[in-house]
Amino acid sequence: MNNVYLIDVLWPNSKVNNLVRKIFIFAIGVILLIASAKINIPIPPVPITLQTLVVLVFAASVGWRYATSSFTAYMFLGFIGIPVFATWPYAGPAFFYGPAIGYVLGMLIASFFVGYLAEKNYDRNYFKSLIIIFIGNIIIFVPGLFWLGMWYNFFSSGAVDLNFTQSYLNAFDKGLLVYKYTEPIKIALTASITPLLWQYISKK
């Protein structure tokens, strides 16, 4: 098994450009995360964004080390007050107990999972790619839904009127079912990108 990431073929490493290459890939990851968060359909409490697609494709292309380090830097920028997130308040510590933080933490974990399996060449075949992208989305949604239910129950404006069951029914309605048309399209598209690129490279 040839454990080479897509980025290693598109931009081969060398002793001369090693540091520049590392910084550039890391920075591009952060920039893509910020841009994809801002391209969204503002459906409250958690908007539809391109971020899940970008997170998983980037992880599959560059591996878990670049993916997780870029995502950690992205979260740090948001924490210190730079408005990088997709939902209000967009930055600062307050975001970290807002409705979307569970999805953000899920994306960090998913970037490791998908990047690690890309190291095992799961990104080259569409069927294998579809499996890891699908599981990656589950990894994103599990903490996302768990925290969204807690947010409805304790932090939302209507929390005083919601019991535990009502909070989680709201979470499933607003945090999962609302994406029933967009998410399957994103999964199919995401799973196809790296296999198509590998196929193109193999024919050159």
- At residue 1, the pLDDT reads 43
Helix axes 64-79, 101-118, angle to 10 degrees: 160
Say what the pTM is: 0.94
- At residue 203, the pLDDT reads 79
Q: For the chain, what are the domain ranges? A: 6-203
Close Cβ partners of 9 (under 8 Å, ≥ 6 residues apart):
201
- The CATH number of 6-203 is 1.10.1760.20
Confidence at 167, pLDDT banded by 50, 70, 90? very high
- At residue 46, the pLDDT reads 95
Exposed, middle or buried, 173 (CB in 10 Å: 0-12/13-18/19+)?
Answer: exposed
Residue 48 bridge partners (DSSP):
41
Q: For 91-139, write each residue's pLDDT tens digit.
A: 999 999 999 999 999 999 999 999 999 999 999 999 999 999 999 999 9
- At residue 18, the pLDDT reads 86
Percent helix, percent strand, percent coil in the chain, to nearest 5: 70, 0, 25
pLDDT over threshold 80, residue 16: no
Say if residues 195 and 125 touch (Cβ distance below 8 Å): yes
pLDDT over threshold 60, residue 2: no
Rounded to an integer, the average pLDDT of 166-183 is: 96
Percent of the chain with pLDDT over 70: 98
- At residue 112, the pLDDT reads 98
Rounded to an integer, the average pLDDT of 173-184 is: 95
Confidence at 13, pLDDT banded by 50, 70, 90? confident
- At residue 3, the pLDDT reads 56
- At residue 190, the pLDDT reads 96
Distance CA 42, CA 28 (A): 25
Rounded to an integer, the average pLDDT of 175-202 is: 94
Q: For 31-83, write each residue's pLDDT tens digit.
A: 999 999 999 999 999 999 999 999 999 999 999 999 999 999 999 999 999 99
